[in-house]
Structure 1
Amino acid sequence: MVDRVLGQLSLADGLAVWDETIFDLIAKELDWEPISKLLGPRSSSGPGSASYPAMLLVRCLLLGVWHGLSDPALEAQIRDRLSFRRFVGFSLSDRTPDHSTLWRFRDELTRERLIDKVFEEINRQLETKGLIVKRGTLVDASFMQSPGRPPKQPKKGHHGPVKPSADKDARWGKKGKKSTFGNKMHIGVDQGHTLIRRVEVSDASVTDTEPADRLICGDEKAVYGDQAYYTHARHDRLAEAKDRLMRRPNKHHPELPPRDKLRNRLISKVRAAVERPFAVFKERYGMRRMRFFNLATNRTQCMLAACAYNLRTMIGVLYPPKERRA
């Protein structure tokens, strides 16, 4: 059994008229061959139906992220939209994958952590293009609601078992007075173009500071973060990078001195750029609420979102909107 041979153009493909889209620019700017080699063949030896190549399915899932589509909706759009077919690599006569194929492939990415290799290769190419400048890393985290209901609270006087949530990996997290049941996405973002360099996904109960050291790449000149990230130990570990973590009051110094207040305001203006990826995830990619009922698959979806965001940002830098219209 071998991978399917797809993308062989017919006369109908040659007659199709189309305008260049942002997806065509992404397909042109990214070298997909190294990613294809990292993913390897999906088909095993022996008889059976040919499988869709992994690289084509990765492109399908990226389209799903960019448009906030469920797998059934993505199946329909790939089948019907010429721009989707062209980006993925399907000719007009090729049979496109169904939603169960997309679901199983996402499980493959999750089970073997292949999505990490895709993310790293995309970032390697972005760095080669000079888009990751390493002037500073901005760290932050944001809640993502669970698709399942929280555990049902027992009524007064109830002594039986509490009805659990369908999402057994989700937990309660609190920011200010607002509580969220779900997961939390932690990112380390390059200061230059807000490209995402590191991603961690946890349940919502994990504090921002716990995975913070894994968001620091080690080659940046400074690290920016809000008050949740400052500790004396982290300050000492940042010997090679400037500490741009906002200071916070404590029981010994309940009021920050004016110098630290000014410093915090200046840092806040820089670190505010880290909010942009989260705004894109929630407003454009439909990620206010996670789609899956386990942390591992939700992590894969977050990694796909980081890949999708970085690729769109790449085009925004290399092809400014004014130049694309020209």
Structure 2
Amino acid sequence: MKQTSLGLPLSTKRTRKREFLDAMDRVVPWRDLVALIARFAPESGRRGQQPFAVETLLRIHFMQQWFNLSDPAMEEALHDVPVFRDFAGLSNWGDALPSDSSILRFRRLLEQHKLADQILARVNELLTGQGLMLKAGTVVDATLIAAPSSTKNKDGKRDPEMHQSKKGNQWHFGMKAHIGVDADSGLVHTVRGTAGNVNDVVEGNSLLHGQEEFAFGDAGYQGVNKRPDAKAHVRWHVAMRPGLRRVLEPATNAVDALTGRIERMKASVRAKVKHPFRVIKRQFGHVKVRYRGLAKNTAQLKVLFALSNLWMVRAAVVAEVRPAAA
């Protein structure tokens, strides 16, 4: 391997990783999120390894989500990839790099204090303040996230909190990510995680923030307005069941033709809920759960969807804050 000068990379090429990280650096509200977490962080002055700055660990945690890296893989990437060190603020010659255990402790800190919920809420508060998220309507949907089905582990069992479910003619094992998104912008405001066998309609009303006047869902949400937790002020627009829609005769029946147009209009609104799923699965590579248990994986999903919101509006957002001082 060729040596670098004073530990600095010789290449000046603007790689896709660097372009991506530069874009996210401009839109993530670092100062607000650091202030949110700092009150729970361990204080310096104790014996042993000194804690790293909250912003450094938060940047590393976000890189894990963006590039789908485990704790050990993230530690190795910090040693191997100069742009990752630059983004974390660890590019100076001789800077100590966090170990995988430091990265793990930070994630557990977020889980312990339920900070993933607050990160999503704070990001959405800022986006709402910039006029990018309205509250008139919500679109709901769910997607399956696969979990390892093998029993070749130290317990000899599959994760008991995951479950198999059937979609079409295929069986899947894992969890479901249920989301409620803003009907205008497609930004996620509510995230819930359940076992894979939980019907979508069960979580439908829990995905509403309470201020919307109308909500949209696919045919899996039929009957959502009749459930005990239904909100009286919300008007649901749920897709017709596919079997009923197939028997429509729009060419010969005016009512059927009007029904078909209404269904297409509802589908055009529902399409916005697919965008956040595409971002976390295709852009961030999150197609399989990383941890055991619903709580840890749901916390990760909330951070992922907060970051997906920022990614989706990156061209429109002008960050009002600058990175906090270490």
Task: Give the TM-score, by structure 2 length.
Answer: 0.78
Matched, 1:302 2:306: no
Check the 8 A contact 1:41/1:54 in 2, yes or no: no
Residues 282 and 55 (structure 1 numbering): CA distance in 2 closer, same or farther, change over 3 Å? Answer: same
CA distance in 2, matches of 1:12, 1:18: 17
For residue 96 of structure 2, what is the aligned residue in structure 1? 95
CA distance in 2, matches of 1:81, 1:212: 42
Count of aligned pairs between the two proteins: 296
CA distance in 2, matches of 1:289, 1:219: 33
For residue 3 of structure 2, what is the aligned residue in structure 1? none
Deviation at 1:221, TM superposition (A): 4.0
Kindly provide the CA deviation profile for residues 266-300 of structure 1, in whole angstroms up to 9, marking residues without a partner as x: 21122022112212222232222212122121112
Deviation at 1:83, TM superposition (A): 3.0
Given candidates 223, 233, 241, the residue that maps to 2:226 is 233
Kindly provide the CA deviation profile for residues 193-244 of structure 1, in whole angstroms up to 9, marking residues without a partner as x: 3211110001101110112112111223431111111324269945544422
Deviation at 1:42, TM superposition (A): 2.0
Q: Which amino acid aligns with 2:173?
A: F
Query: Identity over the aligned pairs, expressed in percent?
Result: 29
Given candidates 171, 184, 187, the residue that maps to 1:179 is 171
CA distance in 2, matches of 1:120, 1:37: 14
Check the 8 A contact 1:196/1:306 in 2, yes or no: yes
Kindly provide the CA deviation profile for residues 16-55 of structure 1, in whole angstroms up to 9, marking residues without a partner as x: 9686734334333333222222212522574332112333
Q: Secondary structure at the match of 1:182?
A: strand
Kindly provide the CA deviation profile for residues 163-189 of structure 1, in whole angstroms up to 9, marking residues without a partner as x: 963312111112232221110000111
Q: Which amino acid aligns with 2:78?
A: I
CA distance in 2, matches of 1:173, 1:310: 28
Unmatched 5+ residue regions in structure 1? 1-10, 152-162, 320-326
Larger mean Cα displacement after TM superposition, 94-103 or 182-191: 94-103
Q: Which amino acid aligns with 2:178?
A: H
Residues 189 and 26 (structure 1 numbering): CA distance in 2 closer, same or farther, change over 3 Å? Answer: same
For residue 204 of structure 1, what is the aligned residue in structure 2? 196
Residues 84 and 171 (structure 1 numbering): CA distance in 2 closer, same or farther, change over 3 Å? Answer: same
Q: Which amino acid aligns with 1:38?
A: L
Check the 8 A contact 2:111/2:299 in 1, yes or no: yes
Residues 164 and 228 (structure 1 numbering): CA distance in 2 closer, same or farther, change over 3 Å? Answer: farther
Unmatched 5+ residue regions in structure 2? 1-5, 249-254, 319-326
Kindly provide the CA deviation profile for residues 122-164 of structure 1, in whole angstroms up to 9, marking residues without a partner as x: 111111121112343111001111124279xxxxxxxxxxx96
CA distance in 2, matches of 1:242, 1:95: 56
For residue 238 of structure 2, what is the aligned residue in structure 1? 245
CA distance in 2, matches of 1:43, 1:202: 32
**Mapping for residues 210-221 of structure 1, pairs under 5 Å:** 210-221=202-213
**Mapping for residues 275-314 of structure 1, pairs under 5 Å:** 275-314=274-313
CA distance in 1, matches of 2:229, 2:201: 15
Check the 8 A contact 1:221/1:242 in 2, yes or no: yes
**Mapping for residues 101-112 of structure 1, pairs under 5 Å:** 101-112=102-113
CA distance in 2, matches of 1:291, 1:236: 32
CA distance in 1, matches of 2:26, 2:99: 26
For residue 76 of structure 2, what is the aligned residue in structure 1? 76
Residues 120 and 48 (structure 1 numbering): CA distance in 2 closer, same or farther, change over 3 Å? Answer: same
Task: Give the TM-score, by structure 1 length.
Answer: 0.78
Check the 8 A contact 1:75/1:97 in 2, yes or no: yes
CA distance in 2, matches of 1:138, 1:262: 19
Q: Secondary structure at the match of 1:138?
A: strand
Matched, 1:54 2:54: yes
For residue 8 of structure 1, what is the aligned residue in structure 2? none
For residue 114 of structure 1, what is the aligned residue in structure 2? 115
Q: Secondary structure at the match of 1:21?
A: helix
Check the 8 A contact 1:21/1:83 in 2, yes or no: no
Kindly provide the CA deviation profile for residues 91-134 of structure 1, in whole angstroms up to 9, marking residues without a partner as x: 32322212222223222222221111111111111111211123
For residue 67 of structure 1, what is the aligned residue in structure 2? 67
CA distance in 2, matches of 1:57, 1:117: 17
For residue 32 of structure 1, what is the aligned residue in structure 2? 30
For residue 156 of structure 1, what is the aligned residue in structure 2? none
